[in-house]
A and B are shown apart, each in its own frame.
Chain A
Amino acid sequence: MQGRNELKQELRRFYTWLWLAAAAHVALIAAVVALQLLYVRMHPPMKIVNVSLVQMPGLPGPAGGPKSVEAPPAAEMPPEKAEAPAVTKVSEPPPQPVKKIPEPVAVKKIPEKIPLKAPEPTPKKESAADEQKRLQAALDQLRKKTAAQQSPANTATGPTNLSSTLANLQKKVASQGAGTAYSGSGSGAGGGRYGSGGSAFDPYKAKIAGIIQGNWTFSKQMVRSTTGMEVYVSLLIMPDGTVSQIRYDKQSPSEYLNSSVRSALKKSTPFPALPREYGTKGVWVGFVFTPEGIGR
């Protein structure tokens, strides 16, 4: 009898401990959740929300994927253009390079761009003779518009500057072709994000490109090879100039380039307020960062 009573008493004690343990567990879980919530309140998450390394969800269809940025689509485009609307297309490329070059910060980068761009024009020259004509026409326009800004020192080194400008122009034409393919049927406030895609020159986008370029510190000597060195970034710029979303649609294999882009964007934001014509929903703007510079 005594033994049974002792056993019952022991079991009762065990059940008491069981309830206490359950209460302790509940308290512990509640404490963990409360601490986590407190931590989140004390350290609010960063403004940068989504980093999509693989996809570009905003752009529907095959044009949304980074693959369409590759050279082949760009190379395929000129024959189509060359058939009928050659005249209209010729008039399109010049405005962009002409308006980009005079930006104060871009001038700093010009000496860097020259050596890397030199080998690139050769494959382009082989592609079509029409392109040469277009380039010559564009070059004439470029000369007229930049003549006023060129200093006497620059005119003295005319031939070298001319060739570099020609290479630059060819690069712009090529990048515009790629940009058109990439932007595809992009929808939203900003239309296509990468490349102007045949739309008119946008002074606001040029302005923020200049700001980013100014804040971008990158030395191409630090990168072993330039193949695939492209970082595609989409920014959702709100009417007040703040960036609510940054998407890295494609990153380069070089972490140095990626981090330099990241820090450049961090330094550059917030941008100047959006012009009224963009509306109140904000606008998506895409940039392509390469060791040669920033493209849109």
Chain B
Amino acid sequence: MSEQSGGIVTMIAGAGLVVVMVLAVLILFSIISWAIIAWKFGFVRKSMKESQDFLDSFFDQPNADRLFAASENYRNGSLPRVFRAGYIEYSTGRDRAVSGVKERITLAIKREVNAESKRLTHMVPFLATVGNTAPFIGLFGTVWGIMSSFQNIGLMQSASLAAVAPGISEALVATATGLVAAIPAVMGYNYLTHQIGQIERDMEDFAPDFVDSLLNQ
């Protein structure tokens, strides 16, 4: 009766050391996953919004210098950052009157696109890792818990339901926690990779336009 009323706390308190450690690892994974999801969600959303606003300005204003001044307002957007990198390279070449300006601008833009992709995807693979491994870690805890529970049954020399059930239910908490950690991680990973992929495609698409706009000054 006390086990019924105690619920999940009693179950965890009655679990073995390995199961408790597994639970701790899974909760830590879950905390980090949630933090990454929340952080990246805001990050990606801001980047997309500022990129969209910058593109509106880009089509409205053909002047690169004014565009550069406008891009200072969109410091978190990926497209403004790429444009700024190209503009800085263009203005350096213009001042020194060096040859091969187009190649240099293209290279600078490509480098910035790569850097931006890296910045966007930073820590996102951890979500995939949690999504893939957390259920298995939970399963490991369950298997271990059931193993020790069967050992206890053997020591008690009793196969009654009262002897078997608590150990198994304690062990199953680990699988449940693994799923609780994995499900948001997988959902967050899918959402973020989709959004980041969209931003990367935008950067790839607009990179030549940026080069042309700078060269046509």
Contacts and interface: CB of A to CB of B under 8 A. Distances in A.
Interface stretch (A18-26, A80-88, A176-184, A196-204): A18-26
A30 to B, nearest CB: 10
A36 B27 CA distance: 20
B160 A52 contact: yes
Contacts of B43: 10
B34 A24 contact: yes
B17 interface: no
Contact of B38 (A10, A17, A37, A40): A17
B216 interface: no
A52 B162 contact: yes
Main secondary structure of the interface of A (DSSP, over half): helix
**Chain A interface residue bracket vs B:** 20 to 34
A164 B88 CA distance: 112
A51 B35 CA distance: 46
A9 B158 CA distance: 60
B35 A14 contact: yes
Interface of B: 1, 4-5, 7-9, 27, 30-36, 38-39, 42-43, 123, 158-162
Contacts of B4: 40, 45
Contact of A40 (B7, B30, B32, B42): B7
Contacts of A52: 160-162
Given A17-B35, A20-B35, 15 more contacts: A14-B36, A17-B38, A18-B32, A18-B35, A20-B38, A25-B30, A33-B7, A37-B7, A40-B4, A50-B162, A52-B162, A54-B159, A54-B161, A55-B158, A55-B160
A53 interface: yes
